[in-house]
Structure 1
């Protein structure tokens, strides 16, 4: 009789694992100290007595408290544990779970949940107080987007965290395992294969926390998500076959537990399992397979050996000639795809085999080839043109000022064209130039500003040309020729902050070069991986730029061995696998190139009168400066042209002005007698200037809809899961002035992707490219039983949300009464020493306002962040005189309540408003404290651009009567009204000659102007 065992792995469910040794069946239970099969019992199957005890949290939100129980049809066996709201299982604190500073241990279990099965980051298994990741202990936790993560804080080292490892709330059973080698790394597995980067835990110290216990389904306190009101809760989750070992399982053992589980055998019975597959490559669901993939799989035999003659491998439905080998009960199948496959293409694999008992085993999966770039063969120089080994490297540094964290800034700074607004001249370069035309010769790119280890590789050196210290506002440039044979390469850059890697002829040309990869913004040290294909052997030119804003700074250039995952520094002469680099290619032509352009390619918010500037560097022949042509939107214009040494500069001040809110194409044409280049780039101009107005208002009447402007948007499914709508009464919190109001409950930004996107509709202002003048007003309530020291109001300058937010509440006991008070601000300025009553108090509603002026054209003579609580000034926080378009200037959207590392907590929101100007202290005082009817939207003092010199317009409201008064002008004035700013028809509502006019307020908002 023929039987078939099929293992079909959906593409989204499994990550890569290769090269794992098969496990020894007899060894799986070695060191097993807890085994909870959850087959209608909480008993420990190891015989060691580490039984579970069901618990339900006592909390007002748990309306019908019942102990956790079981459901039939688990992942393995007859039943599985089911956890709903407030339920968990405690293991207590048995000696078997005391791992101290040096005991290896592992945890494995199956879990099942639909999308939305939990909110925020509840605990699967933990011994720590998870209210802070910095508390002693460790945890395997869920994530708000349906994912999972790990956190670790031992006695002798700071916290360690994985990112969100993978989404697992997919409706099916998933297997999680984490192993801890105390003299090595923590390793993470999903569905039998490693996932994410290993994290070193050697010498971290004691991991035991004797103030807590071990719990399944909650943290070590048993109260996380409830009595601290953070909203982290399992709503309906199943778990099965839970095990803890006092040793680190091998990768092969984890694969065996998973494979046996697919056949219905629990972790103590893997020896009874039939044949199963392991070590599949490319990994099922992989999206970064090489361009010429090697397809592999291993079949671990069960009771009967696999027949080698029966093995077939099908690629995209077609049988191929695969190599089959057998050793030690493992049948290995391998097929190297003989040619390049298209970038981004999807492929299916099927392996079939039969064992000696004629039982067929089948494995099917799919993978996607990386979106690689093919380097043009025309870039290759002969291998015998190698110059001196190494790379050329230089730094430029502005020791004063605050520079944007962008590629465009770095290019301008490297070109010497970045203008210091304080002097209206290019920033002075404080870096020490190198001896080779300003460059230094270096062996590898492995730099950290203070020569401290960062990123992937030890032995960091300080950046050449910079002092060995914490320096800010610098950019670097590396040039090299890489020796590449035909094939697929995975390159990597680890950077803090951003970078760009290019090739081209030459790669320094900002318009003709080919971008291989980039990160355009600020971040901590992190990897970016890029895939390329080379079709012809040779030396290929590259250019790597790196830039730093503030804080840490580091950069590494490396390749990745796609077979092993090993990272290897480019030109590491001590590693034979390293890509070799050379400073020059002997005899390479020296061609002219475009060193910089302004506005930058792809830039937005360009002003209508911003000059268009191009700098061009000579090659071996001199560029004909007087013959350089410039076109704007296809029309020839007449620029000014100049030369300084080997650099030609072309500058054009638009006349007529550039069209507003439009994409503009600029074209430059130049030559040196032998070479002619025609290059184009595009940028987008900013919208027309706006009159001062309320540009966004939200009242949360059951949704994110807008009263004025655009609706707020959920950033992710996790953000939606963290949001609840109701009333102050339904949530059991106080109303305002005895009145109930509709509110939004936000559970907190426990992950980077949990926030709201605010498209504020404000146009750039303050003579900058961003919104430099604005006011944000919020009616908020932090619950009395809430916890946490921080809450981020939003992310402004980094729309990838990879660094701190820009505005915070900091709760601290500043007046010594034992009750934390909430101060607002940024950069350590959270106090108002004159009046403790103006602080935010938990359990009370407050109206919080931030009024921002990033220009220097104000009473302070520098940028200012004015902060208010309930209409009272809290503090004017001065931000320096070089802040235009800086950190607190709004981009085209604001990430409301976002923070990159969970500095957040539960908050209730009644009303939010944003204006495109900085309100005065008097205007904010007039708004007063919070109101059950929300923030007023018909009391704005509007001062639109006057049609007559020296006219000033003001507005006041009494009841439903609006009185307008103005100065300047004479004769008969027309008072005109429009319902929406920026569009619609102005309607005359009356005329007067005495510079005052009173009319009845109708509708939610209106805009008025005076005309003659």
Structure 2
């Protein structure tokens, strides 16, 4: 963050708390200037819609859900070894959800990081004070990252790793917390081997959470640094998805405090960001469904998916929202627009699931849909996403590659 930004942050923060009315307009003007600088410098403004009440707060720390599907279980051996997730975010989420199926048994693979897993996909969540984990800690091997025995932070074991196949490949985990954030600018970081995705949002399973940091692919332990700005103090749900293919594996979650890297929720460092687990989550036992939640209504599915291409013109638009224990969708507040025009959307409810759908046909062009709704706590939420529709009867546009027989074949990665 440059000097101008730091001055604006300090000034706006001070004005934010001023009770003198004469400061309001200057504060708003400076905030607008800061928002412009954010757009130019990659700073992400965190939506205050994500704030959850203090009653959601549980014990200090993070909840860690670690999963593993190793090559020993799949029987798929390559050089180098290739995990099911292939170091891609979308596939890592698929593994974490237990959606990979063994073709022989036609049942989901088992989670090797849960020693009690025997007949179905499962989890064994535990609470960790902070996240500074490496697979070599199990045997006291080489440490990696910023926090090691050399500076008083020996790596901790990755829960459940190595799994019951005694393997170190095919790992996917998530780390869940509620961060206590004040108004102001923060620099956060993840040191990972291999990839990760960090998000903040109303609930951990909400696909509309804000992505604040990501690395997709293979790397040795290295930092990814990202800047955020918080306009309203509160408790923010924070999730880090982490995945590792083969070889060394490690993860650290930290922030910058007075120019130094500090683990989030380090109790021994003044200024460390405080992290809490969501109250009521099951830990220290094997479970088949993750239940760590903020209780907020969560958008769990959007079709067509954001960025989807080669969508058929007859496809419906469908958004699925799961009501929570704390808030639910105000169904009368639902509005949808398509390419700037309001459309009539059907809203239905079954149990805790609210489905919003539009079936009026899609134009053969780039389409932008906007959905808005209110939660029962009065918070209004908006989702905007785009997708491309191809003209019926025409060959869909896409990446073309040449197959082994010399014919051109369309890439079907986004084909419905």
Partner of 2:131: 445
SS at match of 1:388: strand
SS at match of 2:91: helix
Partner of 2:366: 663
Residue 480 in structure 1 maps to residue 166 in structure 2: no
Residue 342 in structure 1 maps to residue 34 in structure 2: yes
Q: 1:616, 1:544 → 2: CA distance?
A: 22
Partner of 1:916: 408
Contact 2:256/2:262, CA 8 A, preserved across alignment: yes
Residue 430 in structure 1 maps to residue 130 in structure 2: no
Displacement, 1:567?
1.5
Residue 409 in structure 1 maps to residue 91 in structure 2: yes
TM-score by length of 1: 0.29
Larger relative contact order, structure 1 or 2 (CA cutoff 8 Å, min sep 6): 2
Partner of 1:683: 387
SS at match of 2:187: strand
Q: 1:463, 1:596 → 2: CA distance?
A: 30
Which ranges in structure 2 are unaligned for 5 or more consecutive residues? 9-29, 75-82, 117-121, 149-153, 281-292, 411-416
Deviations 1:416-469 (A, max 9, x none): 5x4659589895452556999963211112233454523322233343345356
Q: 1:378, 1:677 → 2: CA distance?
A: 7
2:147 to 447, 457, 466: 457
Contact 1:480/1:584, CA 8 A, preserved across alignment: yes
SS at match of 2:198: strand
Q: 1:625, 1:580 → 2: CA distance?
A: 33
Q: 1:455 to 1:686 in 2, by over 3 A?
A: farther
1:467 to 155, 162, 172: 162
Contact 1:571/1:578, CA 8 A, preserved across alignment: yes
- 1:174-213 equivalences under 5 Å are none
Q: 2:173, 2:253 → 1: CA distance?
A: 13
Aligned length: 345
Residue 560 in structure 1 maps to residue 250 in structure 2: no
- 1:55-454 equivalences under 5 Å are 288-289=2-3, 291-292=5-6, 342=34, 345=37, 370-376=41-47, 379=50, 387-399=58-70, 400=74, 402-403=84-85, 405-415=87-97, 418=99, 420=101, 422=103, 427-428=108-109, 430=111, 432=113, 439-451=125-137, 453-454=143-144
Displacement, 1:680?
4.1
Displacement, 1:389?
0.9
Partner of 2:192: 495
Contact 1:688/1:763, CA 8 A, preserved across alignment: no
Residue 595 in structure 1 maps to residue 300 in structure 2: yes
SS at match of 2:6: coil
Contact 2:52/2:202, CA 8 A, preserved across alignment: no
SS at match of 2:159: coil
Q: 1:762 to 1:505 in 2, by over 3 A?
A: closer
Partner of 1:179: none
- 1:866-881 equivalences under 5 Å are none
SS at match of 1:457: coil
Deviations 1:958-984 (A, max 9, x none): xxxxxxxxxxxxxxxxxxxxxxxxxxx
Q: 1:652, 1:473 → 2: CA distance?
A: 37
Q: 2:278, 2:35 → 1: CA distance?
A: 31
Deviations 1:103-137 (A, max 9, x none): xxxxxxxxxxxxxxxxxxxxxxxxxxxxxxxxxxx
Name the one with the larger helix percent: 2
Q: 1:607, 1:425 → 2: CA distance?
A: 30
SS at match of 1:568: strand
Contact 1:415/1:596, CA 8 A, preserved across alignment: no
Q: 1:486 to 1:626 in 2, by over 3 A?
A: closer
Contact 1:630/1:639, CA 8 A, preserved across alignment: no
Which ranges in structure 1 are unaligned for 5 or more consecutive residues? 1-286, 295-338, 347-367, 692-760, 765-770, 776-850, 853-913, 919-1012
Contact 1:405/1:521, CA 8 A, preserved across alignment: yes
Q: 1:443 to 1:496 in 2, by over 3 A?
A: same
- 1:428-827 equivalences under 5 Å are 428=109, 430=111, 432=113, 439-451=125-137, 453-458=143-148, 459-468=154-163, 470-506=167-203, 508-511=205-208, 513-549=209-245, 552-561=248-257, 563-564=258-259, 566-584=260-278, 590-597=295-302, 599-604=304-309, 614-620=319-325, 633=338, 635=343, 648=353, 662-665=365-368, 679-684=383-388, 763=398, 774-775=402-403
Q: 1:530 to 1:622 in 2, by over 3 A?
A: closer
